[in-house]
Structure 1
Amino acid sequence: MKKKILGVLIASLLVGSIFTGCGNSNTAAKASDKPVEITFWHSMAGKNGEVITKMVKDFNSSHKNIKVNAQFQGKYDDAINKLKSAQKIKNGPDVMQVYDIGTRFMIDSGWTVPVQNFINDEKYDTSSLEPNILGYYSVNNKLYSMPFNTSTPIMYYNKDAFKAAGLDPENPPKTFSELEQAAAKLTKKDGSGKVSQYGYSMAIYGWFFEQFVTKQGQDYVNNGNGRTKAPTSVEFDKNGSGLKVLTEWKKLVASGNAGNFGRDEDATKNAFLAGKTAMYIESTAILSGVLTGVGNKFQVGTAPLPSFDDTKDGGVSIGGASLWAIDSKDKDKEKATWEFMKYMVSSKEQAYWASETGYFPVTKKAYDEQVMKDNLAQKPQFQTAIDQLHASPKTSKGALMSVFPEARQIIESNIEQMLQNNKSPEDTVKSAADSINASIKKYNEDNKK
């Protein structure tokens, strides 16, 4: 009897262990069925943030094995500072949107997986991506990040104001000499002599200074504009490009025909929307906002960035941001990041992104999408940015340096003083160059570059 009971107990234990084993197997299977979760940090607020949210939601719906958690991290400067803090405790994102001027820092940081690695492993075809945009984010033929939101500066102008001033609204200024003449005709004063409409305006923004250096076909920093290796000094003070930009800027404001609304880009934009300035420089990324803000008050025209007289037209460099893969040492997360990147630059998503924002597509195939065709039909002003990009030589890539955010602040501070008549253009160039060079030297010494 004892033997029989013992046999039943042993049998029960065996059956239990079998079921327990099956239970563990099911648990493991369920665990493996869970989607790979990755964190995406971005800097898109307002309408652009809403568009990003929808794109991420659509990705998650169509990729059941991946879940992207999108998290807004504030403006570009705020986001990259948060990344620096997060990397110290290994708690950063898996993929991050970083502005163009953060490129050299991201390369030097060692925190990332170059996108070129994924491209090579998969033999991914990049031929549909815009070559000028790829060029900016590539160093020594290696693509470090995936272009995403891209823009260039263009000139917005009030076609109705042009007509009233006797100017051809279909023939906006192409050079600064033409712009000076047009600005003089467009400037209006009230009975007391106060300016009621400036002919031209431009916010004190370091990006514009950089673009006008590029427009002259000149480098901003040495070492191949920071592309053959990390730069050691600026070039704009040696090649004459910086002085040319600042002399023209000062001349326009001093003439009384150009308004100076300071560093706040919104202040300059609002002056244009209110009809208080007839021409102004700004990113194509805000085209939709400008058209909405103007409404039916007047017709908006767009034109390429003005060239300098008797100077080679070097085109423009791109602005905006790209997507970076953060090295997590987790191959599954890295694969998921790559799938997400490819989705975000697909023709369908880029056409949607461009039509809803003002950034232009990073892939040429987006122009075949009906939503993009409809967008261009509704907003023909957008074509200016596309044509300007395609007309720019591949050499107009723009500079790379790790202290770019600081350099912009230095440039803006010095221009501000110049326009307040506290500095000459010559002193402004020297002061800015000296300060930026000091920052570059300190960074290189601290990082042994």
Structure 2
Amino acid sequence: MKKVMMTLLSASMLLTACGQSQSAKPAAAPAQSTAPAATQETAKADKPVELQFYFPVAVGGPITKLIDKLADDFHKDNPAITVKPVYGGSYQDTMTKVATAVQGGNSPDVAVLLSTDLYSLISMNAIEDLTPRFSKEYFNGFYEAFMGNTKSGDTVWSVPFQRSTIVMYYNKDLFKKAGLDPEKAPSSWSELKEAASKLTVKDGSGKVTQWGIEIPSTGYQYWMLQAMSLESGTNIASGDGKQVFFNKPEVQEALQFYSDLGRKDRVMPEGALEWATVPSDFISGKTAMMYHTTGNLTKVKTDAKFDFGVAFLPANKKYGSPTGGGNLYVFKNIPEERKQAAVKFIEFLTKPERVAQWSIDTGYVGTTKASYETDLLKNYIKDFPQAAVARDQLQYADSELSTFQNGQVTKLFNDNIQAALLGKMSPQEALEKSQQQADAILKSFQ
């Protein structure tokens, strides 16, 4: 936990050092480029072009092998362009490396970074305005739920790539053993608590040998809480990166529910539940249900030795989940020929067949509507209907928390959420403190 949070803080400090704006307005969009749209052929390079492609590895599975193959396949189609992947570790570690590179005048050409890094990158004046680089038809091909974290106003700054929502995984075999219907996942908070109670198993000494539910509480606890807040009727931030709504009653209700699962209802382990450990606990049978990114779907499918289901997150007042995951960014301070090559690479990565295959290989949601019209995904979903759940949940999805000084805001919010989950603060105290701290950081952007 400390490592993740220190990384976030380091990234935030680096972003400030890179000259983040203290203005209330995002950096002005650059003048309209005369570069061709995505539907037109980009200019051919007179000499070979090499692209530095920063990429995080945030979930299980052979992601590096998949990216290496995509880079090789692109080079075969475009012999004058070579893509060199640079694997940065976690999203936070990759952002830190990118910020360092930008500060040192050695900006990458293209990178996959969190969609929520948008305003931090705008403040750094680090990324290219992609609005004139692609056609409107191209952007309209993506699911609208994924476009919220790509834009500031009408300016498009990135392209959805490995995108996700949070879904609920459940062990059908353990449901049967507990006398629950294996084809009916809990659809409400009350049903979740009832099922989790039946699925929590103790030995003769009273020690828990199987938990009913696990929800991560390190790294991305703000994301989990945001889902519960949406289910309670509100999002936790404005769409312009300038305001947060951490202390709303609906958010307090959500954090109380989150905390009670472990501290009061005793159906989830108390203390910190590591992001990477929860899927392992689910696969090994230590927990019967888990909340996690759909980006781990393929890993669960490959490694689980039992029948499992995937479902929408249970509703409170309604269904809801924030989107998540990474977007493709092109950097500003690189030569024009590399910008054009980067755009061509993005076009390559977002062709329907490749989006479909990436979804199958990883578990991430296919980002384009056209990808679900391919025979690849149609046949995959026919045999494995769990793969359609995250896509279907998009109708209830909203944008993920993204603000100016996002690293600092997310860190303080994560710290205070965890303090509430550990019983060091009440949910109300944690959220009031979070609101005050975030307001102080965002004041200069109002």
Tell me, yes or no, whether TM beats 0.5: yes
TM range (shorter): 0.7 to 0.9
Show the counterpart of 1:377. Answer: 382
**Per the alignment, in what secondary structure is the counterpart of residue 322 of structure 1?**
strand
Q: Structure 2 stretches of 5 or more lacking a match? A: 1-43
**Per the alignment, in what secondary structure is the counterpart of residue 39 of structure 1?**
strand
Show the counterpart of 2:303. Answer: 293
Q: Is 1:95–2:110 an aligned residue pair?
A: yes
Among 405, 418, 428, which residue is 1:416 paired with? 418
1:300-311 counterparts in 2 under 5 A?
300-308=308-316, 311=317
**Per the alignment, in what secondary structure is the counterpart of residue 125 of structure 1?**
helix
Show the counterpart of 1:245. Answer: 254
Q: Are 1:198 and 1:277, in contact at CA under 8 Å, matched by a contact in 2?
A: yes
Among 393, 399, 402, which residue is 2:401 paired with? 399
Distance 1:126 1:135 in 2: 12
Among 137, 154, 162, which residue is 2:150 paired with? 137
Q: Is 1:255–2:270 an aligned residue pair?
A: no
**Per the alignment, in what secondary structure is the counterpart of residue 318 of structure 1?**
strand
Q: Is 1:210–2:220 an aligned residue pair?
A: no
Cα 1:211–1:407 shift into 2, 3 Å: farther
Cα 1:349–1:411 shift into 2, 3 Å: same
Q: Are 1:37 and 1:67, in contact at CA under 8 Å, matched by a contact in 2?
A: yes
Q: Is 1:350–2:358 an aligned residue pair?
A: no
TM-aligned CA deviation for residue 79 of structure 1: 1.7
Q: Deviations over 1:185-224 (max 9, x none)?
A: 1111111111111111111122111222233342313xxx
Q: Is 1:281–2:281 an aligned residue pair?
A: no
Cα 1:33–1:404 shift into 2, 3 Å: closer
Cα 1:138–1:70 shift into 2, 3 Å: same
Q: Which amino acid aligns with 1:284?
A: T
Q: Structure 1 stretches of 5 or more lacking a match? A: 1-30
**Per the alignment, in what secondary structure is the counterpart of residue 112 of structure 1?**
coil
Q: Are 1:101 and 1:405, in contact at CA under 8 Å, matched by a contact in 2?
A: no
Distance 1:250 1:125 in 2: 43
Whichever structure has more helix as a proportion of its residues is: 1
TM-score by length of 1: 0.83
Q: Deviations over 1:220-251 (max 9, x none)?
A: 13xxx142xx41x42120x2122111111122
TM-aligned CA deviation for residue 373 of structure 1: 2.8
Q: Are 1:201 and 1:260, in contact at CA under 8 Å, matched by a contact in 2?
A: no
Show the counterpart of 2:68. Answer: 53
Cα 1:73–1:355 shift into 2, 3 Å: same
Show the counterpart of 1:3. Answer: none
Q: Is 1:170–2:170 an aligned residue pair?
A: no
Distance 2:56 2:138 in 1: 28
Show the counterpart of 2:22. Answer: none
TM-aligned CA deviation for residue 312 of structure 1: 4.3
Q: Are 2:232 and 2:251, in contact at CA under 8 Å, matched by a contact in 1?
A: no
Q: Which amino acid aligns with 1:188?
A: V
Q: Is 1:190–2:188 an aligned residue pair?
A: no
TM-aligned CA deviation for residue 300 of structure 1: 0.6
TM-score by length of 2: 0.83
Q: Is 1:219–2:235 an aligned residue pair?
A: yes
Q: Are 2:171 and 2:308, in contact at CA under 8 Å, matched by a contact in 1?
A: yes
1:62-101 counterparts in 2 under 5 A?
62-101=77-116
TM-aligned CA deviation for residue 32 of structure 1: 6.9
TM-aligned CA deviation for residue 271 of structure 1: 1.9
Distance 1:174 1:406 in 2: 34
Q: Deviations over 1:264-312 (max 9, x none)?
A: 12222222222221111000000111122212xx21111111111xx24
Show the counterpart of 2:126. Answer: 111
Q: Which amino acid aligns with 2:344?
A: E
Q: Are 2:416 and 2:433, in contact at CA under 8 Å, matched by a contact in 1?
A: yes
Distance 1:350 1:104 in 2: 26
Show the counterpart of 2:24. Answer: none
Which protein has the larger Cα radius of gyration, Structure 1 or Structure 2?
1
Q: Which amino acid aligns with 2:67?
A: I
Q: Are 1:95 and 1:325, in contact at CA under 8 Å, matched by a contact in 2?
A: yes
The sequence identity of aligned pairs, in percent, is 29
Q: Which amino acid aligns with 1:199?
A: G
Q: Which amino acid aligns with 2:289?
A: M
TM-aligned CA deviation for residue 366 of structure 1: 1.4
Q: Deviations over 1:143-169 (max 9, x none)?
A: 210111001000011111111222111
Cα 1:119–1:33 shift into 2, 3 Å: closer
Q: Are 1:133 and 1:362, in contact at CA under 8 Å, matched by a contact in 2?
A: yes
Q: Is 1:272–2:274 an aligned residue pair?
A: no
Q: Which amino acid aligns with 2:279?
A: K
TM-aligned CA deviation for residue 107 of structure 1: 2.2
Distance 1:412 1:125 in 2: 36
Greater displacement, 164-173 / 280-289: 164-173
Q: Are 2:270 and 2:422, in contact at CA under 8 Å, matched by a contact in 1?
A: no
Among 51, 72, 84, which residue is 1:38 paired with? 51
Q: Which amino acid aligns with 1:420?
A: L
Q: Which amino acid aligns with 1:392?
A: Y
**Per the alignment, in what secondary structure is the counterpart of residue 330 of structure 2?**
strand
Distance 2:90 2:268 in 1: 29
